[in-house]
Amino acid sequence: MAGKNIIELTDDNFEAEVLKAGVPVLVDFTATWCGPCKALAPVVEKVADEFAGKFKVGKLDIDDAPEVAKKYRVLSVPTIMVFKGGAKVNHHVGANINRDGLVKMLEG
């Protein structure tokens, strides 16, 4: 489902991969049935490939990881969140974001 530089996130690995990461992490909350999520996927993959090593990018399927989705109150997909130092620092709801918008969220 995800590209080579995208981590598949779950309820079990979210803390280790996102909250304890030493770099900013962009998390794409998604679902297999979500059309807008599929439209956004290539943009997320481009950012993951372009900034590999500088930032982490992960995808979390809300149906497969309901605890994390509930904890962060993800009510609509796609939702993008950026985490730094274990804290959520930015978020965006919807597929109406481009590569530059994602990068700005990560660098902000």
Which residues are annotated as catalytic?
34, 37
Tell which residue, 43, 28, 31, 25, has the closest CA to residue 86: 25
C-alpha R_g of the chain: 12
